[in-house]
Chains A and B, each alone.
Chain A
Amino acid sequence: MSSQTTERREESNTPAGGATGALDASPSASANQTRQSPAIEEDRETLVKIFHQLLLIRRFEEKCAESYSLGKIGGFCHLYIGQEAVGVGAISALRDDDFVLTSYRDHGQAIAKGISPEAVMAELYGKAGGCSKGKGGSMHLFDKRVNFLGGHAIVGGQIPLATGVAFATKYQETDQVTLCFFGEAAVNQGSFHESLNMAQLWKLPCIYICENNQYGMGTSLARAMSLQNVAQKACAYELASEFVDGMDVLAMRQATLRAVKRAREEYLPTLIEARTYRYMGHSMSDPGNYRTRAEIEKHQERDPIKVFTATLKENAILTDKDISDIEAQVKEEVERAVRFAEESPEPEASELYKDVYANPLN
């Protein structure tokens, strides 16, 4: 099975100098480059749903930033702002009975997969109404009913887990597939390599989506990775791969649909590298001194919501009125989520020792 690295490769593997250390095609090149948005294959209902999800996640995450600053959310809070198209686009390609696993930057994927904003916000608030009953927090969102299997805080830890979920569905002889999201920094972990090797060796229906936001916390891709081309690494495992513009939600969706087909029909894995960018720091505790305002603003020119809105308007899918209606709806949904979180009680003291074991003994 030969691997396919399509579309863009890195122009050069030498790190950019200067304060940012960020590797990208140079700003002028990316501005001039015609990024081919895929032709629309989706019906209006799907497109509107996708748009709504992008906006909902954006506003939800903005509200999280606010709530965190007010001390309502504790610990670590890793926001998805800027990366929404990756999660929404990919998950839109799934059936309800497919599985998703991701890292600690999980709010966006959790909502896209179907956890209610109320249950997510309550979890962030550490309340009993949270999707993990307040026992997990921001990094450990789980919901068995919508097949969202976490929320994992060790970089790369979710990759063997997702591989195992795919193993199980194949063993059980279903055609379910598993999506595994992780950042480009996780690609340097041994768990990534071990998992992809087994997935191809055993033909497991797992789709590995690398959200390359170009920074592992404060360390740019250039400073962490010798071969700065994640999709290309699939060739080490004879595994199919694709590079995608992660700011383009339809490109993301359609790449994932291709991978889903391969997994469902042939039990073969795919590695998708989605080039994206986060606007906020690694977490709410990160001032982000390792990159410039100018760099962030450059990426915001291709903001996924901005890009998709333009696409929808150009194709007469949504009018300005439709958009502002959806904005209003999203605002209400987010406020409802916050109200629910505020009103939800703290976990009972008796919850402390519950669920350490499924079969408690003695």
Chain B
Amino acid sequence: MAVMTMRDALNLALREELARDGSVFLMGEEVAEYQGAYKVTRGLLDEFGPKRVIDTPITELGFAGLGVGAAMAGLRPIVEFMTFNFSILATDQIINSAAKMLYMSGGQFKIPIVFRGPGGSAYQVSSQHSQALESWYAYFPGLKVVMPSTPADAKGLLKSAIRDDDPVIFIEQERMYGVKGEVPEDENFTIPLGVAEVKREGTDATIVARSLMVPVALKAAEELAKDGVSCEVIDPRTIRPLDINAIVESVKKTNRVVIAEESHPFAGVGAEISAEINERAFDYLDAPVKRVSGADLPMPYAKNLERMAVPDVEQVIAAVREVSYL
């Protein structure tokens, strides 16, 4: 075990997978010579050279499509979006090409591509740079969507995503790149996609949280424990396919659910989880499922307004109390 940041865990995953399989290559804006806008790709150009680590022009639709085409021809591209906000330019290729190619070709062309980069809020980068798009991509059959919340999860899940034969949307979080945690050093360490993890065991209420909201949920659980409320925090880790069985097992135990997410509420991942809990575990609920979501508005710039727009520990605590009728 080593202690490292999320950034370094991702870097290590990329390094190991580039070394392991010559058909893996990485491209994106500033990934090579600049060492990565967020330094996730630091040192990779030096180690693997310009054939494997490629700086692209600012041409998201073009290089995303180029990646998909390269995957059709047998390579395993990792395409970095500097942030997922810029992936919006590439959505035609992600959705109409990557997600559909295997199906519409009758199973002939698999697309083993990873689209990765930070999503969600940062600090005061305003409306066009702060969007959490996971529910958008999770909407499409043919894509997989993964969101790590710890350095170990980041490393293990990214390796699995790269080895997976389907297009994976791998959403990191800019605010979390510096978070430290224990990471297994074994280069064969992977975490399977589609498997949730209970981050904290509890008995009175379930908090389903992903990405940025995991540490928020854990802090809320710590606070609530002081009042004798025992919270179970479960992190899906993979959004599509969702490990709904793990979530339902937790609901059966606690009978109360809060979903914490930084994304907007409407048609979000929380809405999907809530619907599925309703369908599968209604009889186990002692209260309606409650969502704590990011504010339903474009992200404002001002520090105080931005703080109001992102769910915090107090809001999650209040939600748990609400579903517990406390």
Binding site for B on A (CB under 8 A): 99, 101, 130-136, 140, 142-144, 149-154, 157, 159-169, 171-172, 190-191, 194-195, 197-198, 201, 354-359, 361-362
Contact = CB atoms under 8 A, between A and B. Distances in A.
A132 B65 contact: no
Contact of A131 (B70, B103, B106): B106
Given A99-B73, A154-B96, A358 B66 contact: no
Nearest to A180: B69
A152 B220 CA distance: 49
B165 A163 contact: no
Contacts of A354: 107
Contacts of A164: 65-73
B97 interface: yes
A132 B103 CA distance: 9
20 contacts: A132-B106, A133-B106, A135-B104, A136-B104, A136-B106, A140-B104, A144-B108, A157-B97, A160-B64, A161-B93, A163-B62, A164-B65, A169-B73, A191-B62, A194-B59, A197-B57, A198-B57, A198-B59, A355-B102, A361-B193
Interface in B32-52: 51
B140 to A, nearest CB: 10
Nearest to A140: B104
A301 to B, nearest CB: 39
B103 A161 contact: no
A130 B57 CA distance: 39
Contacts of A142: 104-106, 108-109
Nearest to B71: A164
Interface of B: 25, 51, 56-57, 59, 61-75, 92-93, 96-97, 101-112, 141-142, 144, 164-166, 192-194, 238, 241, 243
* A contacts with B: majority SS: mixed
Contact of B109 (A149, A191, A362): A149
B181 to A, nearest CB: 25
Given A164-B73, A356-B102, A359-B165, A198 B62 contact: yes
Contact of A162 (B69, B103, B106): B69
A95 B243 CA distance: 47
Contacts of B63: 160, 194, 198
A161 B227 CA distance: 57
B103 to A, nearest CB: 5
Contacts of A161: 65-66, 68-69, 72, 93, 97
B73 A168 contact: yes
Contact of B61 (A130, A133, A144, A160): A160
B109 A144 contact: yes
A355 B106 contact: yes
A160 B106 contact: no
Nearest to B194: A361
A142 B67 CA distance: 19
Nearest to B112: A358
**Shortest beta-carbon contacts, A-B, top 8:** A164-B69, A160-B65, A194-B62, A133-B106, A168-B73, A161-B69, A361-B194, A142-B105
Contact of B107 (A130, A153, A201, A355): A355
Contacts of A132: 104-106, 108
A198 B58 CA distance: 11
A195 B96 contact: no
A134 B59 CA distance: 34
Given A135-B104, A356-B141, A157 B65 contact: yes
Contact of A143 (B73, B108, B144): B108
Nearest to A169: B73
B61 A194 contact: yes
A144 to B, nearest CB: 5
B69 A165 contact: yes
Nearest to B193: A361
A68 B75 CA distance: 38
A167 B52 CA distance: 12
A169 B75 CA distance: 9
Nearest to B245: A362
A135 B101 CA distance: 11
B240 to A, nearest CB: 9
Contact of B105 (A136, A153, A157, A172): A136
B66 A157 contact: no
A167 B59 contact: no
B106 A157 contact: no
B221 to A, nearest CB: 27
A171 B164 CA distance: 21
B102 A190 contact: no
A167 B65 contact: no
Contact of A157 (B57, B70, B92, B104): B92
Contacts of B106: 130-136, 142, 355
Nearest to A357: B166
B75 A168 contact: yes
A359 B164 contact: yes
A152 B105 CA distance: 10
